[in-house]
Amino acid sequence: MLTLGGLSLGVVAMPQLLRPSKGGTDATVPAGGIAPAAQTAVGVRPQVAAFTRAMPVAPVLAPVASGSNCDVYQLAVQAATEEIIPGVQTPVLTYGGKFLAPTIRAKTGRRTLVSVTNNLTEPVNTHLHGGHTAAAMDGYPMDLVQPGNSRMYDYGNGQQGATLWYHDHSHHTEAEHTFRGLHGAYIIEDPAEQSLNLPSGAYDVPILLRDVEFDADGNLLFFDDPANRTTVLANGVPQPYFQVAARKYRFRLICSANERVFKLSLNNNGKLVQIGSDGGLLPAPVRLDQLVLGSAERADVVIDFSSFPVGSQVVLSDAAAGPILRFDVTRTAPDSSRVPNTLRALPVLPAGTVQRSVDLSFDPGDGTGMPTGLVNGKTFDENRVDIKVKRGDTEIWTVTSSDPPGTPHTFHLHLVQFQVLERNGKAPLPEDRGLKDTVGFVAGETIKLKARFTDELGKYVYHCHYLEHSQLGMMAQLEIVP
């Protein structure tokens, strides 16, 4: 069910209000010249036979040039079609021409320069989610790449190894652009992790999980209740299979759904061993029967298929959506990898010296149109700095929502990884562990987190990562000052 502040969102009202007219642009023209789905379109659950197509693994993007301490990449944002449903060509937005965007594999301490060219007919930009990135390179919502233009993003990759992702962050179109395909995996490999001997190479596989809705013609249906996105895609494919060897794999799970909390488990008594979260490795592996992963969160898990005989099938399911991916154990393979009992200690942060409260909510207005997203009672304004943070400070933030109880949100802070200290005055939940940049919660809950703002100066946003919420203004900005 749709719970934007307890309101029911009219389908017809959404295009105008989610995409305000800018400079005479027809607000109902979907992104990038994609053929518009009728506003009255209704979602159709495509009939796709389960486990008949292989899950693709995104190609690793090859640099176009490399220096002694940097790699240069090119990504073109362009419209394309993709056969998501067998026999149906679906218009999508892409980084590089394919719905499943290429993976960028960076290294800790080695710069990455990414030139993004906009081949659409409307502005885009790119944010490296979870990146400890200079403000000018962060994909600020108003820092746009105009049609026909290119810009270079310069990522220092000074942080420890982590599973990040890149996605569009252009204000008022971030939700639609990301939904239609503008997102991909960005992995920072860390030489300091090599001695751990975790599964690597072909056994280190990113999996982007997201939900989607189609209309009767196979178009992606964005302007509808997100609760109707009932088809789940793993690396862009509904219910694929993935052939594995009877050995350990590291899967980097990325929830790239706009509004979703996955509750993932394996059948056949399979275990998910979580080794990392948003910002990198956990202090120690955690054996899970169920993994909770909400919008924009990541979890690195190891699955050991050696306990399954060749010929076995192990299904990854979501508690709500059902089976989403089947692992087929098809062969044996040598395995010298391991999951050590100790992975990587969390950084010890100084005591917090500044306390802040952040409240995410909706203003329902007069109830006839779309609500307005608010942070501490104010909708996003690029000309307003909501808080000033002194560089180097460690702060304690208390995050709540004054919406009707149960309204879901997910809080995302740019630039830094934080540690969740408490949830509802108690110890954090399993999904809160490790270094986080995104944390899901519902109205009525209280999240207390701690972050240290190091290195960079300038303006960064913090917002709800239910992207339709940030698109409606549930976003604010901080400025880091000397």
Choose, by CB under 5 A, the member of 389, 469, 477, 478 that binds Cu ion: 469
Choices 150-158, 184-192, 323-331, 469-477 (CB under 5 A): range interacting with Cu ion: 469-477
Choices 132-140, 227-235, 412-420, 460-468 (CB under 5 A): range interacting with Cu ion: 460-468
The residue of the chain with the least Cβ separation from Cu ion equals 464
Choices 43-51, 95-103, 449-457, 463-471 (CB under 5 A): range interacting with Cu ion: 463-471
Query: Minimum distance from CB of 360 to Cu ion (Å)?
Result: 5
Residue type, 146: Q
Looking at beta carbons only, is 14 or 58 nearer to Cu ion? 14
Q: Is 465 in the site for Cu ion (CB under 5 A)?
A: no
Query: Minimum distance from CB of 475 to Cu ion (Å)?
Result: 10
DSSP string, 326-385: EEEEEE---------S---PPP-PPPP-EEEEEEEEEE-TTSSS--EEEETTB---TT--
CA distance 159 to 154: 14
Alpha carbon separation from 11 to 114, 219, 396, 469 (Å, rounded): 37, 16, 39, 16
CB 135 within 8 Å of CB 416: no
Nearest to 300 by CA among 244, 243, 265, 251: 251
CB 185 within 8 Å of CB 208: yes
Query: Minimum distance from CB of 446 to Cu ion (Å)?
Result: 15
Query: Minimum distance from CB of 85 to Cu ion (Å)?
Result: 30
# chain residues binding Cu ion, by CB under 5 A: 4
Looking at beta carbons only, is 95 or 466 nearer to Cu ion? 466
Choices 119-127, 130-138, 278-286, 462-470 (CB under 5 A): range interacting with Cu ion: 462-470
Looking at beta carbons only, is 18 or 302 nearer to Cu ion? 18
The CB density around residue 390, as the number of other CB atoms within 10 Å, is 12
Looking at beta carbons only, is 110 or 465 nearer to Cu ion? 465
Q: Is 106 in the site for Cu ion (CB under 5 A)?
A: no
Q: Per the structure block, which two tokens stand in for 318?
A: 């979501």
Choices 65-73, 374-382, 424-432, 465-473 (CB under 5 A): range interacting with Cu ion: 465-473
Query: Minimum distance from CB of 274 to Cu ion (Å)?
Result: 25
Q: Is 409 in the site for Cu ion (CB under 5 A)?
A: yes
Looking at beta carbons only, is 9 or 79 nearer to Cu ion? 9
CB 32 within 8 Å of CB 93: yes
Query: Minimum distance from CB of 174 to Cu ion (Å)?
Result: 13
Choices 107-115, 225-233, 337-345, 402-410 (CB under 5 A): range interacting with Cu ion: 402-410
User: For residue 120, how far is the Cα from the chain centroid?
Assistant: 22
CA distance 53 to 275: 28
Choices 56-64, 127-135, 156-164, 461-469 (CB under 5 A): range interacting with Cu ion: 461-469
Q: Is 181 exposed, middle or buried (0-12, 13-18, 19+ CB in 10 A)?
A: buried
CB under 8 A, 24+ apart: contacts of 138-145: 138/414, 138/415, 138/460, 139/169, 140/169, 140/459, 140/460, 140/461, 141/169, 141/170, 141/171, 141/174, 141/380, 141/382, 141/461, 141/475, 142/171, 142/382, 144/170, 145/77, 145/116, 145/117, 145/118
Looking at beta carbons only, is 114 or 360 nearer to Cu ion? 360
Nearest to 107 by CA among 9, 226, 190: 190
Choose, by CB under 5 A, the member of 77, 182, 302, 464 that binds Cu ion: 464
Choose, by CB under 5 A, the member of 17, 143, 466, 476 that binds Cu ion: 466
Looking at beta carbons only, is 308 or 462 nearer to Cu ion? 462
Triad 356, 463, 385: Cα angle to 5°: 60
Query: Minimum distance from CB of 451 to Cu ion (Å)?
Result: 19
Can you give the binding site for Cu ion, defined by CB under 5 A? 409, 464, 466, 469
